[in-house]
Structure 1
Amino acid sequence: MARSTIDEVGKSTLEHLSIADRLNDWMFETIQPHVKGRILEIGSGIGNITACFINHGIPLCVSDYSDHYCSLLDQKFLNEPLIEGIFQIDLADKDFESRYSSLIGQFDSIFALNVVEHIEDDHLAIANCKKMLAPGGHLIILVPAWQLLYNGFDKELEHFRRYTKKTVTKLFRSQGLEILKTWYFNLAGILGWFVSGTILRKKTLPAGQLTVYNKLVPIFKIADRLTFNQLGLSVIIVGRKNG
């Protein structure tokens, strides 16, 4: 598939997700207790989650692999004092330490939401994230869960895989990260993803469906709590760099 097509699908998805403010706030609220100190967001896209941090008065650095998204971020947050830096970062770069020497060991928290599944060598991606962490720093990632749910949405977004708590734990441990917490997120999202992407074979997330979903987020948050986060459309892991 041509890169331009993938970018258009990805941009369309991010634009649709921008209207899902309650979902974005929910993701922010879920990871916020685990971030500290100097923060770097990987894969900021058009700034949906970035805006949540700004709305809560939390300074951070943002980044993306795409020069197009970096330009959008620069325009969107041009006069925002809480944005401490905008970087173009390729987590798949095998010469990462040399290319990004100014970022090595500079962050106390790094988070990447729906990013690592796009990178074929996810071990390299996690290793490069770890290099940017200061000792004791936290790495937080959210990735799609359950390979059985892999469908047309995943293919169009160029996802290489989906994960489980076991596989993300193994991934983090392979890079020497201490596991602090893992849990599933967004139980209710499974049904919509399966119906639209697997049964109806849609290729992009329907904006109308997201609008309805967004209105019901308060109920879906309760569902996650009642099921003790034992199942969800995504899986989240928090790891710590020791030394």
Structure 2
Amino acid sequence: MPPPSPADAAHYLGDELVLAEHATHWKAYYGALLRPYLRGRVLEVGAGIGGTTRALCDGRPADWLCLEPDAALAAQLRARRAAGGLPPAVRLRVGTLAALPAAEGLFDAVLYVNVVEHIEDDAAELARAYARLAPGGHLLVLVPAHQWLFSRFDAAIGHFRRYSRARLRRALPTGGRVRRLVYLDSLGLLAAAASKLLRQTYPTLAQVRLWDRGLVPVSRRLDRLLGYGVGKSVLAVVENPG
């Protein structure tokens, strides 16, 4: 399946967001690394059905704006908020960052979790995000790693690419101070390679749970020992020094 055309940009092609809700250990892992930067006003781009929002918005940010271009996904997120499944600080806008009104102002953190790989011009998108940061604010990005792992799954959910640290660094905005640029989930790298060999379009729920409950807790310890130099995802933290 080819990458999505620009005309499809507002419609999300993937069907894995419900499966991703079960990756609680994984969300807790990267969440522990990102949470120190999630303060004040937070903009989450590509919020989907709110899985990341629910995992990371712990009530400390004063304002958490979810931006989601797909109206159907946004409707699910809105229903979750109405049912009390999200903190009161969470708001929702349907649309893209390029169309976000200037009146929304600047943010202390702009967050992309498994979103940038869906955007054809990633560098332009991240430059727009950086421009919405308050001085001292942080751009937070998590993306899948290693183009050699690009699989049927990546194609099915509309990925344009996977990233090395060097590839992500090239897409990051100039002028920003890179505070962190690391690989995460060293054992998950093996699971991703196995999935590609099996030519799977989507993992099963059992596979997601095996990876999340069996491998991620070990990766969390092993990654530290390996100096965060191996993994199936890349995490970047970029500061606006003001």
TM class, shorter-length: 0.7 to 0.9
Asked if 1:16 is matched to 2:19, the reply is yes
Amino acid at match of 1:53: L
Paired position in structure 2 for 1:156? 156
Asked if the contact 1:62/1:83 (under 8 Å) is kept, the reply is no
Paired position in structure 1 for 2:43? 40
Larger helix percent: 1
- Give SS of 2:111's match: strand
Paired position in structure 2 for 1:179? 178
In the alignment, the residues of structure 2 paired with residue 227 and residue 73 of structure 1 have an alpha-carbon distance, to the nearest angstrom, of 37
Paired position in structure 1 for 2:192? 193
In the alignment, the residues of structure 1 paired with residue 141 and residue 87 of structure 2 have an alpha-carbon distance, to the nearest angstrom, of 25
In the alignment, the residues of structure 2 paired with residue 228 and residue 89 of structure 1 have an alpha-carbon distance, to the nearest angstrom, of 38
**TM-score calculated relative to the size of structure 2:** 0.87
CA RMSD of aligned residues (A): 2.1
Give the one of 49, 53, 56 matched to 2:52. 49
Asked if the contact 2:152/2:200 (under 8 Å) is kept, the reply is yes
Q: Provide Cα deviations, 1:2-27, integer angstroms capped at 9, x if missing partner.
A: 859x846x2x3110111121222222
Amino acid at match of 1:75: A
Asked if 1:90 is matched to 2:76, the reply is no
1:81 positional shift: 4.6
Asked if 1:64 is matched to 2:68, the reply is yes
1:143 positional shift: 0.8
Q: Provide Cα deviations, 1:81-106, integer angstroms capped at 9, x if missing partner.
A: 53342122324x4xx4xx52223x42
Paired position in structure 2 for 1:25? 28
User: Matched residues, percent identical?
Assistant: 30
In the alignment, the residues of structure 1 paired with residue 81 and residue 178 of structure 2 have an alpha-carbon distance, to the nearest angstrom, of 33
Amino acid at match of 1:202: Q
Unpaired stretches in structure 2, ≥5 consecutive residues: none
Amino acid at match of 1:90: T
Unpaired stretches in structure 1, ≥5 consecutive residues: none
Asked if the contact 2:12/2:70 (under 8 Å) is kept, the reply is no
Paired position in structure 1 for 2:109? 109
Asked if 1:208 is matched to 2:212, the reply is no
- Give SS of 2:108's match: strand
1:236 positional shift: 0.7
Q: Provide Cα deviations, 1:13-61, integer angstroms capped at 9, x if missing partner.
A: 110111121222222112112333211111111111211234x333322
